[in-house]
Structures are given as structure tokens and as C-alpha cells.
Amino acid sequence: MEQENAILMLTESYKQHPKHYVAVDCSIFGYEDGELKLLLYPRGFEPSLGKWSLMGGFVQENESMEEAARRVLLQTTGLKDIFLEQAAAFSKPDRDPGARVISMTFVALIRIDIHDKDLARENGAHWWPVTKLPSLVFDHEAIVATGLELLQQKASIDLIGNELLPEMFTLMQLRNLYEAIFQKSFDPGNFRKKVLSIGSLERLNQKNTTESKKGAYYYRFKKYEPGQRSERIVKFP
Amino acid sequence: MEQENAILMLTESYKQHPKHYVAVDCSIFGYEDGELKLLLYPRGFEPSLGKWSLMGGFVQENESMEEAARRVLLQTTGLKDIFLEQAAAFSKPDRDPGARVISMTFVALIRIDIHDKDLARENGAHWWPVTKLPSLVFDHEAIVATGLELLQQKASIDLIGNELLPEMFTLMQLRNLYEAIFQKSFDPGNFRKKVLSIGSLERLNQKNTTESKKGAYYYRFKKYEPGQRSERIVKFP
DNA sequence: CCAAAAGTGTTGCTTGTACACCCATGT
DNA sequence: ACATGGGTGTACAAGCAACACTTTTGG
């Protein structure tokens, strides 16, 4: 602690403290076939070589944790400028049996349809439905659980589909996404009214006729306009 | 990244990565004289010796970040078993000019009336009203802002007074606390009904007569009983 | 008596929910 | 024609904000 070594009062005073490996681990969520999915990798090195794992990497000297996470995302999905948010830190000394590694975890949301599938395949990546996850390395199951909670909390105030759905989507697709996130079903009529009342969606003049006979209007998220912040907050579920 | 060095496939593979100083910084909130206050310290070593700072410490080899934060809290306030929660990580490479330090930040809530005032005085600690904070070292102002947001969010679902008020308190005291946290005023009648509807307070048979002529019943938080979780969620503000 | 806080009641508005009901159309 | 999803309307309950009103008692 500081007071014990106040005598030094130098940059030197940092030096008596230990340094640690610091990693970022990303819970990468996507949405496909009506299911919320998580991108997992067979771990590429010991310990636990080959077991399923979140994608992660070590924080380098010249980068922040966010930058490290973006680097990892770019290297594994080919995507930049994606939704990425800090979740929680995991720091039990023995959480990684290979070495003492402190891990900051992130939640990323991506559109499965536009990520680089070749890059993912190269790394042995696989999309797992969140309802049927395999057992994971170390404490990664707890990390995912925390990330999923954050996602639900986020979705309950922000209307997040933008990050997970294609550019244009029907309200049924948005509802299915929310049902996948919250693992419960919503009344179609009420969901429609709730979601439209927020005012952040705009209806297009095209219809999707593949999922119903009548055809459903496509919607998309309005471009974010500063100054015109959404007043109305709607809580799910 | 992992795949580049899959050849190693050894614990050795960690070794090519840099290590970092990892610190914990605590936003310690208390409540006194109708104001929400933050505990600050004059920094004890260079750089920025003497400037106001959050209390922090470095994570040691054998402890988690939570343990490090609890150690810091114990050393500076004499309190253990207090409310402590992870907030956010701050990791810009140049955030601390003395060295590259990655900081995990925590929010702590304590009852000012029971903390060790001698210990605090010894370290030069001072309680500052959150509405009149001095300028802080490095990025600590951003850390406090994040912590305060977390506190407000917490208070808007959990009814937190337990951590900040004395054992027994009147509803007016609780309301004043909430007004200090949210920096706005609440209708006394509505606040009373809202807060009692949650069902986590119990009325005692004693009255406080110092703050009003009529006298107001004291309340306290019910002991947490597992199984009997509060169903009702009430949102503030 | 009066000011000030304690405590209760009333009213009207906004939301959420359950559910009925018509529309359009591919099979 | 009918099943399926699209889309709208209604009716009721719940929750909340605003505010009126009554109680108590020290000064």
C-alpha cells in the first residue's frame, strides 16, 4: 500500500508490485435460425488444448483492453466497428491453471450473415445455440452467464436488434430475436405496439413475403440523430 | 494471438506476452448531513503527489481483484464485510503517467458513522460532497462518474439504504438519501407508498421525535430471507 | 395558533396485458 | 377453404404522479 512506502515517492514505487498477464475474453453473440448463438473456439494451446473456449487474447503494452478486444474480434471474425461492451473482470488467482491470468470480459454482438466465415472456419470456430452450450474451459461458463445477463439487461432498455439482425427485418424477426434473448414468448400484437412506440424504427416500402402469405413490411433502425434522443424508455420483458 | 504460436502448445506460450501492473481503485460513497459524499485521499507518492485521489492499491499475486479491493477498504476505513461491487475497468496505456497501470474500479457503500475515523484521518482522508468534488488525479473523475452512475442504477432497483443509513431510520431520512443520490426531489407521500410497497422494510415501535413534532416511526431493513425473495420491482426515479 | 413533518386518500393519466377480430394470400 | 402470420382495436388492471387533506405537537 501507498502509505507504507511513501518514503520512496518516486515512479520507482510502482516497482515493488507484481505484474500480471491480462487477457480479454469475448462472448460473441449472433442470431440465426431463430436462435441466439455464441461463437466458440477449440482452444489452441495448453492447458486444456482443444476444449471449447471463448476467443480471447492478451493485452499488449500499447493498447487498452477495448483495443485488445477489437483486435481479437477483427482477427477472428474479420469485423470492425461492431458492438462491443465491457462486462466483468474475472481475477481469481487460480482461474487459469496455466498461469495467473486476469481476464476482462467483453460482450460483442455481430450479424452472423456478414462475418468472415472462412476466417472463422480456419480457426475451427463454431456457433453454438446458447441453450445448448458445450462445457467450456476454466471459468468461461460463468463469463458467458454474466455476458448473457448483460445482454438481457441491455436489450431491456436499448432495443438492440440493430447489431444482430440484417439491415431490413420484419417485426416478427425482431420479436423472435427478443424471444431468443429472454427465453420467453411475447404477444405479437403487444410487442409490435411496444416496439413501435419507441419510435426508433422506420417502415420501408418493401414487404417480406417469404414468412407469411400476407407479407410483412420490412423495418430498419433509424439512423442515430444527435439532439433527437429517444425520450421514451420501454422496459422488457 | 493463440494461433500464431500453436506450435508451442505449452504453458510456455503465455510467456511471450507482456505483464502489467494491475490496480484497484475504489469509489467509496457515504451519506451524511443529507448529502452523498465520497472519500478522497491526498495521493501519497509521485507522480501527482498530494493531489486528491481515490483510494487504491495494487493487485498482489495471491489475491483476486475483489480481495484486493477489500484489503484496501479495510486498511483505509477499518471496515470489512461491506457493500462492494465491480464497476468498470480503465486501461488506456497512458492513463497513469507514472507507469502503465490497468485499473479495475469498484464502488463501495459505507456508513460514515461507523467507519474508523482515526484511520481515515491518519491517511489524510476527507469526505467530499459529490456535488462539490475537487479536481482529481489522472482519470479518477471519469471513474467516479462511472461509479455514481452504477450507484444510481443500483438504487433504482435494489433499495440500497441499508448500506448507507444507520440501523434505524425514518422514511424521511431514506427519502433524503434518495434525493441525494438522484439529485432530485421526490413527493413525500408517493415515496412512502412506493418504498413500503416493496415490503423489504419493517416498522419498529420506536419513534424519532428530533426531526418533526409529530414523531416518525423508525424503520429498518428486513433480514434477508432466502426463498422469500422480493417479487415486486419498483423503479426509481 | 401556526408551522412543519407524518401519514392517508383521491383522481386521472399512462402502460401493460390478454385477447378478440379482420386482412391477405399461398397451398 | 383454411391455416398462417399481419395488423388493429378494446377492455381491464396496475402503477404512478399530482395534490388535497387530516394528524400531531413544539414553539
**Residue B211 approaches strand D within 7 Å at CB:** no
The whole-angstrom separation of Cα B67 and Cα A200 is: 43
Q: Domain check: are A33 and A90 in the same one?
A: yes
> What is the DSSP secondary structure assignment for residue A169, as one 8-state letter?
B
B175-213: string of b/e by CB count within 10 Å (b at 16+)? Answer: bbbbbbbbeeebeeeebeeebeeeebbeeeeeebeeeee
In this prediction, residues B5-34 reach a mean pLDDT of 81
Query: CATH number of the domain that A58 lies in?
Result: 3.90.79.10
- How far from the centroid of its chain's Cα atoms is residue A174's Cα? 17
Q: What is the Rg, in whole angstroms, of the alpha carbon atoms belonging to chain B?
A: 21
Which uninterrupted H or E stretch holds A196? helix A188-198
**B82-103 pLDDT tens trace:** 999 999 999 999 999 989 999 9
Work out the mean pLDDT of chain B and round it to a whole number: 90
Which uninterrupted H or E stretch holds B102? strand B101-109
Q: Domain check: are B151 and B164 in the same one?
A: no
> What is the DSSP secondary structure assignment for residue A212, as one 8-state letter?
-
B5-17: string of b/e by CB count within 10 Å (b at 16+)? Answer: beebeeeebbeeb
In this prediction, residues B182-195 reach a mean pLDDT of 95
In this prediction, residues B14-27 reach a mean pLDDT of 95
In a domain, B24, yes or no: yes
Q: Domain check: are A112 and A18 in the same one?
A: yes
| pLDDT band per the 50, 70, 90 thresholds, residue A13 | confident
In a domain, B237, yes or no: no
pLDDT of residue B14: 84
CB neighbours of B205 closer than 8 A, spacing ≥ 6? none
Helices and strands, counts by H and E, chain B: 5, 9
> Pick from A125, A156, A187: which residue ends a domain?
A156
Q: Which nucleotide is nearest to B212 (CA to C1')?
A: C5
Work out the mean pLDDT of chain A and round it to a whole number: 89
- Kindly give the pairing relationship between strand A101-109 and strand A83-90: antiparallel
**CA nearest neighbour of B195 among B158, B224, B149:** B158
Q: Domain check: are B78 and B114 in the same one?
A: yes
Distance A212 CA to D15 C1' (A): 37
Query: CATH number of the domain that A179 lies in?
Result: 1.10.10.10
Q: Domain check: are A95 and A186 in the same one?
A: no
Q: Domain check: are B77 and B105 in the same one?
A: yes
In a domain, B94, yes or no: yes
Q: Domain check: are B140 and B178 in the same one?
A: no
Q: Domain check: are B144 and B33 in the same one?
A: yes
pLDDT of residue A201: 94
C-alpha angle with apex B235: B234 to B237, nearest 5 degrees?
Answer: 135
Give A4 to chain B, closest Cα distance, Å: 9
> Pick from B128, B156, B184: which residue ends a domain?
B156
Neighbours of A26 (CB within 10 A): 26
The whole-angstrom separation of Cα B7 and Cα B10 is: 9
Give A22 to chain B, closest Cα distance, Å: 7
> Pick from B114, B133, B156: which residue ends a domain?
B156
Grid coordinates representing A87 are: 462486462
Grid coordinates representing A56 are: 480471447
CB-count exposure of residue B83 (10 Å: 0-12, 13-18, 19+): middle
The whole-angstrom separation of Cα A206 and Cα A192 is: 18
| pLDDT band per the 50, 70, 90 thresholds, residue B1 | very low
A10, A22, A71, A138, best to mutate vs chain B, most B CBs in 10 Å: A22
Number of domains in chain B: 2
Partner residue opposite B18 with nearest CB, options A9, A11, A61: A61
In a domain, B236, yes or no: no
In a domain, A234, yes or no: no
| pLDDT band per the 50, 70, 90 thresholds, residue B15 | confident
Q: Domain check: are A186 and A70 in the same one?
A: no
CB-count exposure of residue A151 (10 Å: 0-12, 13-18, 19+): buried
**A176-188 pLDDT tens trace:** 999 999 999 999 9
The sign of the torsion formed by the CA atoms of B72, B74, B78, B82 equals positive
Question: Which residues constitute the domain of residue B212?
Answer: 158-221
Distance B75 CA to C21 C1' (A): 68
Chain B residue at shortest CA distance from A13: B45
The whole-angstrom separation of Cα B175 and Cα A147 is: 33
C-alpha angle with apex A208: A205 to A209, nearest 5 degrees?
Answer: 125
In a domain, A235, yes or no: no
Q: Domain check: are B128 and B51 in the same one?
A: yes
**Residue A47 approaches strand D within 7 Å at CB:** no
Most trustworthy range by pLDDT among B59-68, B69-78, B197-206: B59-68
| pLDDT band per the 50, 70, 90 thresholds, residue A28 | very high
B45, B74, B94, best to mutate vs chain A, most A CBs in 10 Å: B45
Q: What proportion of chain A, given as a percentage, has pLDDT over 70?
A: 91
Distance B232 CA to D21 C1' (A): 29
| pLDDT band per the 50, 70, 90 thresholds, residue B226 | low
The whole-angstrom separation of Cα B126 and Cα B140 is: 16
**A83-108 pLDDT tens trace:** 999 999 999 999 999 899 999 999 99
CB-count exposure of residue A182 (10 Å: 0-12, 13-18, 19+): middle
Maximal CA-CA distance, chain A:
79
Q: Domain check: are A78 and A133 in the same one?
A: yes
- How far from the centroid of its chain's Cα atoms is residue B166's Cα? 16
Residue A224 CB-half CA count within 13 A: 5
In a domain, A125, yes or no: yes
**CA nearest neighbour of A72 among A31, A114, A120, A113:** A120
Contacts A18 to B, Cβ<8 Å: 58-61
| pLDDT band per the 50, 70, 90 thresholds, residue B133 | very high
pLDDT of residue B230: 55
Residue pair A232/A197 in contact by the 8 Å Cβ criterion: yes
> What is the DSSP secondary structure assignment for residue B61, as one 8-state letter?
T
The whole-angstrom separation of Cα A164 and Cα A161 is: 5
In this prediction, residues A30-46 reach a mean pLDDT of 91
**CA nearest neighbour of B99 among B47, B49, B164:** B47
pLDDT of residue B4: 44
Q: Domain check: are A132 and A144 in the same one?
A: yes
Report the SS3 class of residue B109: strand
| pLDDT band per the 50, 70, 90 thresholds, residue A151 | very high
In a domain, B6, yes or no: no
Grid coordinates representing A227 are: 439532439
